[in-house]
Structure 1
Amino acid sequence: MVGHTTQEPLKTQQKCIAIFALLCCFAVLVVLIFSSVDIWGDDEDGITEENCSKDCLIVLVENIPGNLSLPRNSKPNLSLFDGLNTLLDQARRSVEIVSPVWNLNFWNYKIVPAHAKQGQLLFHRLLSLNSRGVKLKIASSQTNSSELKDLAAQEAEINFVNQTAFTRGGLHSSFWIVDRKHIYIGSADMDWRSFSKRKELGVMVYNCSCLALDLHRVFSFYRQLHDRDYIPSIWSKRVTALYGMHGALGLQLNATPATAYVSTSPELFCAKDRTKDVDAIGQVIQSAHTFIFISVTDYLPLVSRSFKGASVTRYWSPIDDVIREAMVLRGVRVRLLISFWKKTHPLTFNFVTSLQSLCVQLHNCSLEVRFFSRKEKKNDNQLPLNHNKYVVTDSAAYIGNHDWVGSDFVKNAGVGLVMKIKTRSTESRVTILDQLKAAYERDWTSRYSKSLQRTIG
């Protein structure tokens, strides 16, 4: 009896220790969860998949440098500067911007060129948002930008994404979200050159809170990486993709039935259910029936990595393969417009020549390659640069932030928008695909579009 009596307190003590240990484990788990997941991402202004807007207005925007003479076959598209200003006009609560570069002010000369002034005007409008009660939130990879410091002094929230720590790459993403209702995605950075020297292309999508909500989740993803050098193992559900390649958003684009979704890269940055950029491009190319028109600054299916102090380069096939399959096996007409500039890699010419050689002696195979260059003489500079990054087909389009270089998709952060027209309207309504195709054909037939022989000759 004495032994039994002494065992009871011992068992009770052991139970207490076990319960205490479980409580400690639970507390540690909670701390780990909340240390890797920021709960501020839970507030999405009351916008849900059930009540968000799907009746959207989409507008193609471009920056065409003043000294670039392009044929005008139709009404010019909205300028990039005017498009971004319309977004700021619409802003009532928040403006969220991701840009790898913040260099809107032109400091090189006492007299600022007229087109360079647009960057300064845009910067001053961003500075004034706080006085209007509009919260400015920014994600960038720049840590020493004087412009970001000036914006932070006006209570802008600045989040730093150290892409190098994650993938040894850079942040290439460029997009805006206004009031979780309106968005911009395109090739332009927050750089004065994007409003003066560079030829840029993107889209504004208005009153489209479903799409804006999903893009906001990408922005939240970046914000959660602020000052981190690792990817958290547990993510908030508020960064999970709402739509993707296998579950696109059904919506109206300018009263035309369509589907759309946002893609991202690199793979490490693809939250649950998010489609990779390279897979999105592949889907757009594979859905083409008659034509594929590609406009990019650089085309290079290679990935370069540093290993033990040495640079290792390998062939990167995903996009190259789907182009070959489309033109050789399906007989789809392919046009590839690449920029020719000081950073054009010499192997670019080898790869496009290889693609062209596939169509030799094949009747139902067409691949045309041209290089966009303003260079008229040997000593002439090559500005403005064609900075476009998109592909348009007879049924779909992709507009993104990356050049079509393997290393960009593998190491650098970027965002893309995929749009597919579901049915052609019985009316003669011009769709966003028609507008993209017209912009492409204008560039293709311009005097700056040159064959490989004329480019390197």
Structure 2
Amino acid sequence: MAGPTTQEPVKTQQKCVAIFALLCCFAVLVVLIFSSVDIWGDNEDGITEENCSKNCRIVLVENIPDGLYLSMDGRRHLPLSVGFHELLDQAKHSVEVVSPVWDLNSWDVETMPSTAKQGQLLFQRLLSLKSHGVKLKIASSLNNSAELKTLAANSAEVHFVNMTALTKGGLHSSFWVVDRKHIYIGSADMDWRSLSKRKELGVMAYNCSCLALDLHRVFSFYWQLHERDYIPSIWSKRVTALYGKHAALELQLNATQATAYVSTSPDLFCPKDRTRDVDAIYQVIQSARTFIFISVTDYLPLVNRSFRGTTVTRYWSPIDEMIREAVVLKGVKVRLLISFWKKTHPLTFNFVTSLKSLCMQLHNCSLEVRFFSHREQKDDIQYGLNHNKYMVTDNTFYIGNHDWVGSEFAVNAGVGLVVRMTNSVKDKGMTILEHLKAVFERDWRSRYAKNL
């Protein structure tokens, strides 16, 4: 009779442990559920998918350095520096900025033309935001920037993204979100060279809060990585994508019907429903019917990875294969404009020669490559460098932050914007798509574009 009596307290104790364990699991589950919904989120100022604006004004912005003579055909676009100041004029509550470089103040600016002072003017505008009641938020992978320290000392909030620990890459994204209504995406950095000496291109969209809200979520993703050395497995609902390649935002751009979405890279930086940059590029290439025009600083389908002190290089095929498929199987005309400068990798010529050889003895096959080259006065200035990073087709354009180099997409953070025109209604006879096509053809026909 003693046996069963002894076992009962043991069974009771086991039940208590089991119940306690279940309660702990339930508590953890509740925490995870709430954290995934909102605990890491921030106030989105009442802007939602239901009430955001889809009737937008969009403009191309360019920086064309003095001494770079390009035929404008009466269609000179908004200067980049003017565009940035216009965005700051619009700011009422917040300015969110991501840039791989912060070098707006040139120490030798006195020896430079007046255009080099545009960087200093922009920096002063950013410093003055506080006095206008506007919050400046910056996400950066730079941990020793004098300019960021100055901005932080003047009430800017700066969050450090430890890209070295996360991907062994860099934060190459370049975009602005102003009041979650207006945006900029393009090739320019917060660098005085981008406002004076380099050839840059981007877009600015005004009163476009649906698109701005989604780009803000990319910013929030970076913001929440502040000083982390790992990617959290549970994310706030406020960083998941609102739109993507399978569910693009339907909107009006300058009275033209269009769809748009934001893509990101690398893979680790793509939370739920966010389209990868490579997949966005593939969709744009696949949807082209007659032509694909590509303008990038560098084209190199290789990935370099360091492993135990040794650098391993491998072929990175995705984009190279996309181009080959479009040219050979679909008969789409492809033009590839690449910059020729001091950092051009020698193997670039091998890869583009291989691409060009596809059309040997093939009818209805067209693949042309030209190199954009301008003299460089000083190595560190990159004078006249074509820093553009975009693609335009007969119906869609993609503007990104990466050159088409395998290592860029594999380890570096960047964003892209895909815009597709859905009908033939035109604003004053020319859509933003046709503007971008005209820019490419201007550069392609210029004295600086040379055949292989």
TM-score by length of 2: 0.94
1:54 is aligned to 2:61: no
Q: Find the residue that maps to 2:131 and give its secondary structure.
A: helix
Aligned equivalents of 1:256 and 1:234: distance in 2? Answer: 39
Instruction: Note the C-alpha offset of 1:110.
Output: 4.2
Tell me: CA distance 1:146–1:427, structure 2 relative to 1, closer, same or farther (3 Å). Answer: closer
Tell me: CA distance 1:437–1:304, structure 2 relative to 1, closer, same or farther (3 Å). Answer: same
Q: Deviations over 1:334-367 (max 9, x none)?
A: 1100000000000100111111111111120011
Residue of structure 1 in register with 2:218 after alignment: 218
* Letter aligned with residue 68 of structure 1: L
Residue of structure 1 in register with 2:81 after alignment: 81
Aligned equivalents of 2:43 and 2:114: distance in 1? Answer: 41
Aligned equivalents of 2:27 and 2:224: distance in 1? Answer: 22
Instruction: Note the C-alpha offset of 1:10.
Output: 6.8
Range with greater deviation from structure 2 (23-32 or 99-108): 23-32
Residue of structure 2 in register with 1:455 after alignment: none
Aligned equivalents of 1:191 and 1:328: distance in 2? Answer: 40
* Letter aligned with residue 416 of structure 1: G
Instruction: Note the C-alpha offset of 1:154.
Output: 1.5
Residue of structure 2 in register with 1:290 after alignment: 290
**1:264-275 matches, cutoff 5 A:** 264-275=264-275
Instruction: Note the C-alpha offset of 1:24.
Output: 3.6
- The answer as to whether partners of 1:37 and 1:234 remain within 8 angstroms in 2 is no
Q: Find the residue that maps to 1:219 and give its secondary structure.
A: helix
Residue of structure 1 in register with 2:316 after alignment: 316
Aligned equivalents of 1:190 and 1:72: distance in 2? Answer: 26
1:450 is aligned to 2:450: yes
* Letter aligned with residue 104 of structure 2: L
* Letter aligned with residue 305 of structure 1: R
Provide structure 2 residue ranges, at least 5 long, that are not aligned to the other structure: none
Range with greater deviation from structure 2 (36-45 or 159-168): 36-45
Aligned equivalents of 2:382 and 2:44: distance in 1? Answer: 45
Instruction: Note the C-alpha offset of 1:14.
Output: 5.2
- The answer as to whether partners of 2:376 and 2:384 remain within 8 angstroms in 1 is no
Residue of structure 2 in register with 1:412 after alignment: 412
Aligned equivalents of 1:133 and 1:390: distance in 2? Answer: 35
- The answer as to whether partners of 1:162 and 1:229 remain within 8 angstroms in 2 is yes
Aligned length: 450
**1:5-404 matches, cutoff 5 A:** 15-28=15-28, 39-375=39-375, 383-404=383-404
Residue of structure 2 in register with 1:431 after alignment: 431
Instruction: Note the C-alpha offset of 1:21.
Output: 3.5
Percent identity over the alignment is 76
Aligned equivalents of 2:417 and 2:341: distance in 1? Answer: 26
Aligned equivalents of 1:23 and 1:402: distance in 2? Answer: 48
Q: Find the residue that maps to 1:386 and give its secondary structure.
A: coil
* Letter aligned with residue 373 of structure 2: S
Aligned equivalents of 2:39 and 2:216: distance in 1? Answer: 15
- The answer as to whether partners of 1:91 and 1:178 remain within 8 angstroms in 2 is yes
* Letter aligned with residue 287 of structure 1: S
* Letter aligned with residue 94 of structure 1: S
Q: Find the residue that maps to 2:429 and give its secondary structure.
A: coil
Superposed CA RMSD? 2.3
Range with greater deviation from structure 2 (138-147 or 40-49): 40-49
Instruction: Note the C-alpha offset of 1:199.
Output: 0.4
- The answer as to whether partners of 2:109 and 2:117 remain within 8 angstroms in 1 is no
Q: Deviations over 1:192-234 (max 9, x none)?
A: 1100111000000011111011111100100111101100011
